[in-house]
Amino acid sequence: MHRDILGIGLAGKSLSDLERRILRECSPFAIVLFGRNIGTASQLRDLIAEVKSVSARPPLMMVDEEGGRVDRLRHLIPGLPSAEGFGEGDKPRELAEWHGRVIGMALRWFDIEVDLAPVVDIRADVAPKGLERRIFGSDPETVVDLAGAFLRGLHGAGTAGVPKHFPGIGLGSADSHYGTTIIDLSLDEMLQRDLVPYQRLGEEAGAVMVSHGSYPKIAGDETPATLSSKIAHDLLRDVLHFDGLAISDDMEMHAVSDLGSYESITERALMAGNDCVLFCSHIERVPDLQSHLERRVDDDAKVGARFGEAFARCERYRSHVERLRNDAPAPASFGDVLDEAARFVEEFEKTRPHREVIVPEVDRRKNDRQPRTGREEWT
């Protein structure tokens, strides 16, 4: 059996000949979908079906579908709110679970197994760049309550969720899409605050996403968590006793991509403790990355042992995903999904406090035809 631990992205809304060949010959563990892959509902469903049919082993399909600013399905299912909105009105737990159920139903219809959500970071007085309105609350109990409800909504619909960004970047100094973000907290402070959602929700989720944040008071230096064994292994496995899947954040974000070749940072991420390593662009690099890992597994017993452990966790996670699907109701039709989403959005809006939103003219986008930036894909 072909063994792989990579999660990769696709270039567009249909497969190229190169992508078909890579999927056929070098099937990755997962495919991560972005806005660039999503047009119409039928197009997305056909793309996913083709990915699974041409692959030597069908990869798990993953997507960041949080609602609000990180909403890959915004053109297909409009109006899904951001996480921060749930704390601003009535019935937050009930609505958060309903939100998760709507998203879970939609992803199930598209045959996407995994939602890379919820965000379980704890908000500071001002959310750091990249996390605006993506956080459920400013204290651990609120985040556990609402993110946990969202997660159970996903699971009830047969879709897996992945809490992120371990061990917490709510107090980060910057946006790790573009460079180093430092979280200057001690282990005791993290245990009282940022790590609480992982202690309470990690086992239920079965997977967590490891951030590129730097934690000098814990790791002793500014090495990003994805490359730090003191964070991705010692803290996650020895302190929190988590034995599920550790998924790296996208290794093409500048916090880590500037630290070495793709081959180098892939191996470093694996050896630090990540089980699934994400590269969400440049699919043409995948065969070289897989060949590099295969050589290192053959040449170095420590790499071989760590790869075997990571692959075993990937396989256990596949089984977890399959159990969620088997225990859930049959997939709804897309029409039923849209109806459920409309009912949810209507009820959600009823609980919102009235406020007039005014966008100053200076802040209005002047030209919608400008090309999309990398940040719009990352977030």
pLDDT score of 149:
98
The CA distances from residue 280 to 56, 112, 164, 182, in Å, are 20, 16, 17, 23
CA distance 276 to 372: 27
Read off the tokens for 176: 């790790």
Q: Catalytic: which of 175, 249, 250, 275?
A: 249
Q: Which helix (H) or strand (E) holds 306?
A: helix 301-327
**Domains of the chain and CATH, by start:** 6-351 (3.20.20.300)
Compute the CA torsion angle 242, 245, 251, 256 (nearest 10 deg). 10
Strand order through the sheet with 6-9:
160-161, 114-115, 60-63, 30-33, 6-9, 277-279
User: What does residue 70 show for φ and ψ, rounded to 5 degrees?
Assistant: -110, 85
Distance from CA of residue 290 to its chain's centroid? 22
DSSP secondary structure of 156-183 = HTT-EE--BSBT--TT-SS-TTTS--B-
Q: State the amino acid at position 254 in one-letter form.
A: H
Contacts of 43 (CB under 8 A, 6+ apart): 13, 14
Angle between helices 301-327 and 262-272 (to 10 degrees): 70
Grouping H, G, I as helix, E, B as strand and the rest as coil, residue 188 is: helix
Exposed, middle or buried, 177 (CB in 10 Å: 0-12/13-18/19+)? buried
Beta strands in the chain (DSSP E): 6-9, 30-33, 60-63, 65-67, 70-71, 114-115, 160-161, 207-210, 245-248, 277-279
Please tell me the predicted confidence (pLDDT) of residue 124.
87
User: What spatial distance separates the first Cα and last Cα of the chain, rounded to whole Å?
Assistant: 34
Q: Tokens 């002047």 — which residue?
A: 366
What's residue 177's pLDDT? 59
- CA-to-CA distance for 249 and 167, rounded, in angstroms? 12
Whole-number Cα distances in Å, 228 to 120, 203, 222: 21, 22, 9
pLDDT for residue 368: 45
User: In 3-state terms, the chain is what percent helix, strand and coil (to 5)?
Assistant: 50, 10, 40
Residue 177 is among the residues annotated as catalytic for this protein: yes
Residue in 99, 155, 165, 177 annotated catalytic: 177
SS3 315: helix
CA dihedral 165, 167, 172, 178 (to 10 degrees): -50
Instruction: For the chain, 379 residues long, give each residue's pLDDT as a single digit of tens.
Output: 578 999 999 999 999 999 999 999 989 999 999 999 999 999 999 999 999 999 999 999 999 999 999 999 999 999 999 999 998 888 999 999 999 999 999 999 999 999 999 999 999 887 777 888 999 999 999 999 999 999 999 999 999 999 999 999 999 866 555 557 899 999 999 999 999 999 999 999 999 999 999 999 999 999 999 999 999 999 999 999 999 999 999 999 988 988 999 999 999 999 999 999 999 988 888 899 999 999 999 999 999 999 999 999 999 999 999 999 999 999 999 999 999 999 999 999 998 876 554 445 544 444 444 444 343 444 3
Question: Does residue 2 carry a catalytic annotation?
Answer: no
**How far is residue 231's CA from residue 257's CA, in Å, rounded to a whole number?**
18
Listed in sequence order, the residues at least 6 apart from 161 whose beta carbon sits closer than 8 Å to its beta carbon are 100, 114, 115, 117, 118, 150, 151, 154, 155, 205
What are phi and psi for residue 314, nearest 5 degrees? -60, -40
